[in-house]
A and B are shown apart, each in its own frame.
Chain A
Amino acid sequence: MDWITTVDHKKIAILYLWAGGLFFGIGGIEALLIRWQLIKPMNDFVDAQTFNELITMHGTTMIFLGVMPIIFALMNAVIPLQIGARDVAFPFLNALGFWTFLFGGLLLNLSWMMGGAPDAGWTSYTPLSGTAYSGTHGVDFYTIGLQIAGLGTLIGGINFLATIITMRAPGMSFMRMPMFAWTTFITSAIILFAFPAITVGLVLLTFDRILGANFFVPGGGGSPVLWQHIFWIFGHPEVYILILPAFGIISEVIPTFARKRLFGYSSMVFATILIAFLGFMVWAHHMFTTGLSPVANALFAVSTMLIAVPTGIKIFNWLFTLWGGSVRFATPNLFASGFIPTFTMGGVTGVMLASAPADFQFHDTYFVVAHFHYVIVGGLVMGLFAGLHYWWPKMFGRMLSETLGKWTFWTFIIGFHLTFFVQHFLGLMGMQRRVFTYLPNQHFDTLNLVSTIGAGLMGAGMLVFLANVWITSRKPPDAGGDPWEDGRTLEWSIPSPSPEYNFKQTPLVRGLDAFWKEKTAGNKGMTPAEPIGSIHMPSATPLPFVMAVGIFIAGLGFMFSRDDFSSALVSFLFNNYVVTGLGLLITFGAMLVRSLYDDHGWHIEPEELEGR
């Protein structure tokens, strides 16, 4: 019950982590099934329809429900601590964001049990995703599930923007902010601009499918290419929503374990902003083969290549942070160090893809599959592993096992390269992506086998990580406030796990790497910016949970509003939007309660603070 009503950012972080971990596991199992199907030519382990559902759900789940919540978990766990705040700007909204994400994700995954998952690819290109060619409710689960989950993401993004703008501790100017706080800030800004685009697209697609509109239906005057533009205007920035937080994590981990401040801090900030800006300018590079004009292709090719410049700045700055440092290879730093070459490999194939005439060959082949897995798995997932191992003691008060951590790293990274490196060649040799099987004698067989073996190894790495989490959870919470001993930022200046009010006294920030600065000045902790006083806390409330349940019911009701059920009563309820109305009533009712009932929260008094 405590977990359902909590509005504490640290608990919400843990909720995000478990929920994200659950969906990540589902997406991973889907990936292993895909790889098993492709282990040999003309395999019949799953049928063609199931395979298309698997690839669609794997992509959708991993992007929206797997890695993004884990990113949000780390942001929630760390950002208020890093900027010296007692919580996020809107704790109630924070909880609402989590619950809408969770119920959106559950709705999407219900599709497996309710007559068929979405099957038109995670990009859901029309007309294939229209009712004429995708007759099950699969794509409805996709459109409505993602709208609900996306609502949560948007709420979370806005919350972090407000938090970072308004709640930094005294002395923490923007240019003294840790890089992870910076990338969270920029990521939230991208979310603010990109998510409305996909939401609009999903609403229009829902109208096409459920209300019989024609936005994307060629026969009715709609345009499938319009969907591609809307999707990728969101879809390309989404890539940066994913990778920028990883950049931030790496920029935290490397200085800590090299005992050196980040090399070229201001150019890192500048590069982050530039990447975000360019990220919005390049969406049509996903559409080089759509038949846009050569002028459009040329412009988007060149603007895409430009992203290599700020990204290169970051890579070299990380390398030169290590240069001259005293580098300790604890598990977080192993992942961060593995990240640099691996991500660079994903980056360079990105530049290759940007060359439009070469992309005519690369597009929709395994070369692309290899590229984006190098970026998303080799970049983001490695970054998340680095971050999880790094901040685990801060979140749970326990250190993950270093031995198991190293096992996780080596099995994962070897399995990863085995899986995806060979896919570059598969693509160039003529294997298109999203094929449920392939004919023999095309020179595809051996490389596919290698790829599947690699996937198995990655799966084993994940199991080692889970074992690590399980074993660690049974140990007593004994991690110190600064367990890596070289912590540089504010979160390491308070106990692990942090008390629910974070900082007994708001700290005074006197420079970049505030805690490191105090430590080198011979101080044991931060210099406080205020006397000890009564701390205001928000009240726990079940309302966010209730609101999300309401939206979930409304979504289900709307989706089945055109169906005939065997029971006349059920048909009546759905076909007259009674279920939809009931769901919305629950949500708006909860909103009304929230508006009318004034909850001033509660206070932790100084005596209590001293008593601990």
Chain B
Amino acid sequence: MMRTWQSARRLLPLIAVFGMFLAGCGREDLSVLKPQGPAAESSLGLMKLAISIMIVVLLIVFSIAAYVMIRFRRKPGQNEIPDQTHGSFKLEVLWTVIPLILVIVLAVPTVRTVFALGDNHSGDKNAIKVKVTGHQYWWEFEYPDYGIKTAQDLIIPAGKDIAFELTTNDVLHSFWVPSLSGKIDTNPTGATNRFSFSAPKEGVYRGKCAELCGPSHGFMEFKVKAVSNDEFNQWIEAQKEPAVLPADPVLAETFKEQCLKCHAVGDQGMSVGPSLTGIGSRESVAGILLNDDTRQDGAPVEENLKTWLHDTQGVKPGNLMPDPKQDMGLSDDEIDRIAEYLAGYKLN
């Protein structure tokens, strides 16, 4: 055991160097290498340990390989038969024992972290419970303690443990917020998965689906928005308020008849499709059309809603929403006005 810790300590400077090197990679709200929460940090810690050990191994193998290939190259005219060595018991034991030690160095913290991350927070009074349900190709987030449901944007209070309970409504998906935590699959009910993470810093983090789930698998993105405790409570209250319907009664009727057969707003409608409550204040439309007109890859929310409603299959191939024009018989004008109404439906 002594030996184990010594070799671990010797690796520390390497860990530091590679840590710095790797930290240069990717977006802060997306990269595994720039963790923003304890769960992602513990994964990265193991990665750094593993990669340090592995780089040592690679350096040894590469240098021996380079040495033998240069040193023992057959020169022109060289024709003698080298010594036919059988092997060497000592050497063979050496390269059995050293890898074994390296494996133990990695295995001990691995096992410890597996159990630490496997802690069940569902009984924790201070944790916020969230039920995640995967759908082709959107995410539903339910807060059972508050009796509310939302979609695509997961709002959480910064610094609090979030206790997740994950299932799927159709095929397997995998819930992944790289900068906050590793992923976990959503299995059908009966094999519900639980895990938890927290986001100490306020901010928006990008989430992805990591399990092939159909054509639009790559587009099944979501955002995790960590906000202050006060903001979170405000948001919860706003979510509970009664539905705001379009001001124009005719449009309101159309909206109710056509959209609320699947979607919910406030206390009205069905929850087959994603909830639309406060969709105007979300980070994105359909998970991938970013509502950020200050950046080149975003657009105002109203424009995004129009893009979506006019071409749902074009934006997200294979999704289950009927086409508003073809299948529901809405006119272009009605679609635009619904988009306008939804864009204005903001919480807070």
> Which residues of A line the B interface, CB within 8 A?
47-49, 51-52, 120-121, 125, 127-128, 133, 218, 223-225, 258-261, 263-267, 289-291, 293-294, 297-298, 301-302, 305-306, 308-309, 312-313, 315-317, 319-320, 322-329, 337, 340-341, 344-345, 348-349, 351-352, 354-361, 363-365, 425, 427-430, 432, 434-443, 520
Contact with A along B145-189 (1 / 0, CB 8 A): 000000000000000000000000011101010110111110111
In the docked arrangement, what's the CA distance between A354 and B185, Å?
18
In the bound complex, residues from chain B placing their C-beta under 8 Å from that of A267 are: 87, 92, 96
Selected A-B contacts with CB under 8 Å, 23 pairs: A49-B318, A120-B212, A125-B211, A133-B214, A223-B191, A225-B187, A261-B84, A289-B183, A297-B114, A302-B103, A305-B106, A326-B78, A341-B65, A345-B58, A358-B110, A361-B40, A428-B32, A429-B26, A434-B217, A435-B218, A436-B218, A438-B218, A442-B206
Answer whether A348 and B73 are a contact pair too, CB < 8 Å, given A224-B188, A361-B178, A430-B27. no
In the bound complex, residues from chain B placing their C-beta under 8 Å from that of A260 are: 82-85
In the docked arrangement, what's the CA distance between A356 and B42, Å?
11
In the docked arrangement, what's the CA distance between A272 and B140, Å?
48
Q: Is the Cβ of B184 less than 8 Å from the Cβ of A291?
A: yes
In the bound complex, residues from chain A placing their C-beta under 8 Å from that of B78 are: 326
Answer whether A322 and B69 are a contact pair too, CB < 8 Å, given A49-B215, A344-B61, A351-B50. yes
Q: Is the Cβ of B183 less than 8 Å from the Cβ of A264?
A: no
- Verify if B208 is at the interface (C-beta below 8 Å from A): yes
Output the residue of B69, B190, B221 with the most chain A CB within 10 A: B69
Q: Is the Cβ of B91 less than 8 Å from the Cβ of A355?
A: no
Query: CB < 8 Å: which of A47, A313, A356 contacts B317?
Result: A47
- Chain B stretch 177-227: residues in CB contact (< 8 A) with chain A: 178-179, 181-185, 187-191, 193, 206, 208-218, 221
Q: Is the Cβ of A360 less than 8 Å from the Cβ of B54?
A: no
Answer whether A317 and B92 are a contact pair too, CB < 8 Å, given A267-B87, A324-B83, A430-B206. yes
Task: Give the top 6 A-B pairs by smallest Cβ distance, nearest first.
Answer: A360-B182, A435-B218, A294-B118, A429-B26, A48-B215, A264-B87
Answer whether A128 and B214 are a contact pair too, CB < 8 Å, given A315-B61, A344-B61, A430-B206. yes
Query: CB < 8 Å: which of A313, A341, A359 contacts B95?
Result: A313
- Chain B stretch 74-91: residues in CB contact (< 8 A) with chain A: 74, 78, 80-88, 91
Q: Is the Cβ of B106 less than 8 Å from the Cβ of A430?
A: no
- Verify if B271 is at the interface (C-beta below 8 Å from A): no
In the bound complex, residues from chain B placing their C-beta under 8 Å from that of A345 are: 58
In the bound complex, residues from chain A placing their C-beta under 8 Å from that of B72 are: 258, 322-327
In the bound complex, residues from chain B placing their C-beta under 8 Å from that of A261 are: 84-86
- Verify if B111 is at the interface (C-beta below 8 Å from A): yes
| Besides A298-B115, A319-B65, A363-B183, 5 other A-B contacts (C-beta < 8 A) | A128-B171, A260-B83, A329-B69, A361-B178, A432-B208
Q: Is the Cβ of A309 less than 8 Å from the Cβ of B100?
A: yes
Q: Is the Cβ of A428 less than 8 Å from the Cβ of B33?
A: yes
Q: Is the Cβ of A337 less than 8 Å from the Cβ of B100?
A: no
Q: Is the Cβ of A358 less than 8 Å from the Cβ of B46?
A: yes
- Verify if B43 is at the interface (C-beta below 8 Å from A): yes
In the bound complex, residues from chain B placing their C-beta under 8 Å from that of A291 are: 184-185, 187, 191, 193
In the bound complex, residues from chain B placing their C-beta under 8 Å from that of A308 are: 99, 102-103
Q: Is the Cβ of B85 less than 8 Å from the Cβ of A294?
A: no
- Verify if B8 is at the interface (C-beta below 8 Å from A): no
Query: CB < 8 Å: which of B98, B188, B210, B212 contacts A218?
Result: B188
Nearest-Cβ distance from residue B209 to partner chain A, whole angstroms: 7
Q: Is the Cβ of A363 less than 8 Å from the Cβ of B317?
A: no
Nearest-Cβ distance from residue A361 to partner chain B, whole angstroms: 5
- Verify if B272 is at the interface (C-beta below 8 Å from A): no
In the bound complex, residues from chain A placing their C-beta under 8 Å from that of B215 are: 47-49, 51-52, 436
Q: Is the Cβ of B85 less than 8 Å from the Cβ of A324?
A: yes
Query: CB < 8 Å: which of B88, B107, B211 contacts A305?
Result: B107
- Verify if B2 is at the interface (C-beta below 8 Å from A): no
In the docked arrangement, what's the CA distance between A430 and B40, Å?
12
Q: Is the Cβ of B209 less than 8 Å from the Cβ of A432?
A: yes
In the docked arrangement, what's the CA distance between A363 and B218, Å?
15
In the docked arrangement, what's the CA distance between A427 and B25, Å?
11
In the bound complex, residues from chain A placing their C-beta under 8 Å from that of B212 are: 52, 120-121, 125, 128, 434
Nearest-Cβ distance from residue A354 to partner chain B, whole angstroms: 8
In the docked arrangement, what's the CA distance between A320 and B90, Å?
13
Output the residue of A289, A298, A306, A327 with the most chain B CB within 10 A: A289
Q: Which residue of A lies closest to B189 (CB)?
A: A218
Q: Which residue of B lies closest to A428 (CB)?
A: B32
Output the residue of A264, A340, A432 with the most chain B CB within 10 A: A432
Q: Is the Cβ of B58 less than 8 Å from the Cβ of A344?
A: yes
Nearest-Cβ distance from residue B324 to partner chain A, whole angstroms: 21
In the bound complex, residues from chain A placing their C-beta under 8 Å from that of B31 are: 428-430, 443
In the bound complex, residues from chain B placing their C-beta under 8 Å from that of A429 are: 25-27, 30-33
Nearest-Cβ distance from residue A451 to partner chain B, whole angstroms: 15
Q: Which residue of B lies closest to A49 (CB)?
A: B215
- Verify if B117 is at the interface (C-beta below 8 Å from A): yes
- Verify if B47 is at the interface (C-beta below 8 Å from A): yes
Q: Is the Cβ of A327 less than 8 Å from the Cβ of B86?
A: no
Nearest-Cβ distance from residue B66 to partner chain A, whole angstroms: 9
In the bound complex, residues from chain A placing their C-beta under 8 Å from that of B95 are: 312-313, 316
In the bound complex, residues from chain B placing their C-beta under 8 Å from that of A320 are: 87-88, 91
In the docked arrangement, what's the CA distance between A261 and B318, Å?
59
Q: Is the Cβ of B188 less than 8 Å from the Cβ of A127?
A: yes
Q: Is the Cβ of B216 less than 8 Å from the Cβ of A48?
A: yes
- Chain B stretch 100-139: residues in CB contact (< 8 A) with chain A: 100, 102-103, 106-107, 110-111, 113-115, 117-118, 136
- Verify if B17 is at the interface (C-beta below 8 Å from A): no
- Chain B stretch 50-76: residues in CB contact (< 8 A) with chain A: 50-51, 53-54, 57-58, 61-62, 64-65, 68-69, 72-74
- Verify if B288 is at the interface (C-beta below 8 Å from A): yes
Q: Which residue of B lies closest to A367 (CB)?
A: B32
Q: Which residue of A lies closest to B78 (CB)?
A: A326
Q: Is the Cβ of B54 less than 8 Å from the Cβ of A355?
A: no
- Verify if B333 is at the interface (C-beta below 8 Å from A): no
In the docked arrangement, what's the CA distance between A429 and B72, Å?
41
In the bound complex, residues from chain B placing their C-beta under 8 Å from that of A305 are: 103, 106-107, 110
Q: Is the Cβ of A316 less than 8 Å from the Cβ of B118?
A: no
Query: CB < 8 Å: which of B68, B118, B170 contacts A323?
Result: B68
In the docked arrangement, what's the CA distance between A301 and B46, Å?
13
Answer whether A319 and B64 are a contact pair too, CB < 8 Å, given A128-B172, A352-B50, A355-B50. yes
- Verify if B327 is at the interface (C-beta below 8 Å from A): no
Q: Is the Cβ of B118 less than 8 Å from the Cβ of A293?
A: yes
Nearest-Cβ distance from residue B134 to partner chain A, whole angstroms: 12
In the docked arrangement, what's the CA distance between A325 and B32, Å?
45
In the bound complex, residues from chain B placing their C-beta under 8 Å from that of A437 are: 218
Q: Which residue of A lies closest to B289 (CB)?
A: A439
Answer whether A356 and B114 are a contact pair too, CB < 8 Å, given A263-B87, A325-B72. yes
In the bound complex, residues from chain B placing their C-beta under 8 Å from that of A319 are: 61, 64-65, 68
Q: Is the Cβ of A294 less than 8 Å from the Cβ of B191?
A: no
In the bound complex, residues from chain A placing their C-beta under 8 Å from that of B209 are: 432
Answer whether A326 and B80 are a contact pair too, CB < 8 Å, given A125-B211, A128-B212, A430-B178. yes
Answer whether A266 and B82 are a contact pair too, CB < 8 Å, given A429-B33, A432-B209. no
In the bound complex, residues from chain B placing their C-beta under 8 Å from that of A315 are: 61
Q: Is the Cβ of B218 less than 8 Å from the Cβ of A356?
A: no
- Verify if B20 is at the interface (C-beta below 8 Å from A): no
Q: Is the Cβ of A358 less than 8 Å from the Cβ of B107?
A: no
Q: Is the Cβ of B317 less than 8 Å from the Cβ of A127?
A: no
Answer whether A48 and B218 are a contact pair too, CB < 8 Å, given A327-B68, A348-B58. yes
In the docked arrangement, what's the CA distance between A382 and B181, Å?
36
Q: Which residue of A lies closest to B109 (CB)?
A: A355
- Verify if B16 is at the interface (C-beta below 8 Å from A): no
Q: Is the Cβ of A264 less than 8 Å from the Cβ of B88?
A: yes
Q: Is the Cβ of A358 less than 8 Å from the Cβ of B87?
A: no
- Verify if B22 is at the interface (C-beta below 8 Å from A): yes
Q: Which residue of B lies closest to A255 (CB)?
A: B84
Answer whether A326 and B218 are a contact pair too, CB < 8 Å, given A263-B87, A358-B46, A432-B210. no
Q: Which residue of A lies closest to B110 (CB)?
A: A355
